[in-house]
């Protein structure tokens, strides 16, 4: 049996001490679908090349535009690039690689502004290249099973979609200490218009639409910055009106004391309801009207069983979900599949940025309903 060839992968960002860069690298390695062949791991030349040496990356660059041009010219240059930089750099980097004819994997949110997101949508269509946004929670087997239940009508007619994503890591002015992640995520010049809304609210928004199959048509937002002198929101309450009369709410907070990474989704229909909690990812609560609730485990994952990697009792989580996205994307690039299936597209990425800008405008107007 001939093993599928590895996709030649590049990376921009993700140098020394980068959490998300290592997550992407582990995800790419897990199914042996990729070889990391080139990188521009930092804008600082010394750090970029030192990081590449540590990781054994053959070709190291300190300028992403030059990397795109030179890799495109190589016979064995990279086929896809993973972008793991602060938000404001997503657009120019993605555009450079798309223009060079290279497929793109981009961390969320897609871009810092809606104009940039829409430009990338157009660039992807013009280039014919594949583009994936790493809304990684869509890679969890039980989140995929929840989507399957909703699509199969197990919930009946959906009425309410509730999603929350509380954290507490920005409950103090961590950015004042020079903390790198806190500094850029609270800086509108680097993060964009949304703070907690853009960083984790976009995850919650995507998951709610993706699982339920319902699309938000309008929203009303109330954004706050509880930490003194913080320029971006650290807490967001958003009322949501979906199509077909479905109603919902989204809460994203990075000042919710006592919460680490509490992403939770609830979807209620007229026949049944479900609940999925990211910190207990292998379980899905499913309750039919008038019956005792069931706790479904990975063994009941239905069509999502292909996403399960280990025997029962061996916990899977964040890294495996990321790897499911990378595996499915590799199949797309190799031509084993011709549609995105469950993968988050550039259009979904742009919709996330549109959600942020609409919510910011709603809150700035004193909490007015705005069409999405």
Residue 357: CATH number of its domain: 3.30.360.10
| Within-domain flag for 97 | yes
Domain limits for position 155: 141-310+346-371
Indicate the residue among 97, 129, 161 that finishes a domain.
Answer: 129
Whether residue 64 is found in the same domain as residue 195:
no
Are 164 and 250 contacting, i.e. CB atoms less than 8 angstroms apart? yes
Whether residue 123 is found in the same domain as residue 145:
no
Local structure of 5: helix, strand or coil? coil
**Tokens representing residue 3 in the block:** 């093993």
Whether residue 214 is found in the same domain as residue 353:
yes
pLDDT in tens, 14-59: 999 899 999 999 999 999 999 999 999 999 999 999 999 999 999 9
Q: Total domain count for the chain?
A: 2
Indicate the residue among 99, 129, 159 that finishes a domain.
Answer: 129
Q: Where are the alpha helices (DSSP H) in 31-165?
A: 45-55, 64-73, 90-99, 114-127, 141-151
**Tokens representing residue 108 in the block:** 């969320």
Report the CATH number at residue 60. 3.40.50.720
Indicate the residue among 109, 129, 149 that finishes a domain.
Answer: 129
Whether residue 227 is found in the same domain as residue 288:
yes
pLDDT in tens, 50-95: 999 999 999 999 999 999 999 999 999 999 999 999 999 999 999 9
Distances (CA, A) of 371 to 162, 292, 335, 355, 359: 19, 38, 38, 10, 10
What is the average per-residue pLDDT within 89-112? 98
pLDDT at 1 over 50: no
Whether residue 153 is found in the same domain as residue 19:
no
Are 369 and 220 contacting, i.e. CB atoms less than 8 angstroms apart? yes
Are 103 and 130 contacting, i.e. CB atoms less than 8 angstroms apart? yes
Are 57 and 38 contacting, i.e. CB atoms less than 8 angstroms apart? yes
Are 235 and 254 contacting, i.e. CB atoms less than 8 angstroms apart? yes
Are 197 and 255 contacting, i.e. CB atoms less than 8 angstroms apart? no
| Within-domain flag for 279 | yes
Torsion of CA 210, 216, 221, 226, to 10 degrees: 0
Whether residue 117 is found in the same domain as residue 185:
no
Q: Where are the alpha helices (DSSP H) in the chain?
A: 19-30, 45-55, 64-73, 90-99, 114-127, 141-151, 180-185, 188-191, 196, 202-212, 318-334, 346-364
Confidence of residue 2 (pLDDT cuts 50, 70, 90): low
Count other C-beta atoms under 10 Å from residue 311's C-beta.
Answer: 7
């Amino acid at each position: 049996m001939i093993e599928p060839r590895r996709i030649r992968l590049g990376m921009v960002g993700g140098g020394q001490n980068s959490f998300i860069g290592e997550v992407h690298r582990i995800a790419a390695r897990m199914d042996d679908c990729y070889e990391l062949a080139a990188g521009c791991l930092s804008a600082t030349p010394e750090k970029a090349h030192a990081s590449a040496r540590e990781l054994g990356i053959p070709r190291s660059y300190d300028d992403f535009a030059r990397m795109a041009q030179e890799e495109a010219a190589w016979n064995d240059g990279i086929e896809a690039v993973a972008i793991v930089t602060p938000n404001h750099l997503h657009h120019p980097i993605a555009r450079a690689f798309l223009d060079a004819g290279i497929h793109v994997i981009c961390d969320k949110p897609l871009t810092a502004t809606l104009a940039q997101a829409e430009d990338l949508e157009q660039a992807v269509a013009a280039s014919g290249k594949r583009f994936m946004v790493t809304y990684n929670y869509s890679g969890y087997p039980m989140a995929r099973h929840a989507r399957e239940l909703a699509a199969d009508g197990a919930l009946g007619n959906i009425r309410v979609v509730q999603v929350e994503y509380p954290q507490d890591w920005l409950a103090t002015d961590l950015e004042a200490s020079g903390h790198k992640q806190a500094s850029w995520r609270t800086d509108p010049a680097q993060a964009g218009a949304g703070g907690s809304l853009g960083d984790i609210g976009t995850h919650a928004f995507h998951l709610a639409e993706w699982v339920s199959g319902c699309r938000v048509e309008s929203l009303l937002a109330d954004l706050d910055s509880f930490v003194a002198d913080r320029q971006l929101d650290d807490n967001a309450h958003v009322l949501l009106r979906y199509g077909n009369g479905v109603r919902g709410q989204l809460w994203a907070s990075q000042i919710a004391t006592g919460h680490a990474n509490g992403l939770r989704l609830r979807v209620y229909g007229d026949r049944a309801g479900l609940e999925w909690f990211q910190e207990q990812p292998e379980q899905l609560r499913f309750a039919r009207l008038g019956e005792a609730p069931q706790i479904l485990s990975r063994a009941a994952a239905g069509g999502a069983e292909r996403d399960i990697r280990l025997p029962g009792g061996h916990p899977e989580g964040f890294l495996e979900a990321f790897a499911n996205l990378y595996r499915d994307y590799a199949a797309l690039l190799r031509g084993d599949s011709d549609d995105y299936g469950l993968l988050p597209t550039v259009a979904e990425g742009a919709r996330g940025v549109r959600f942020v800008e609409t919510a910011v405008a709603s809150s700035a107007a004193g909490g007015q309903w705005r069409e999405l």
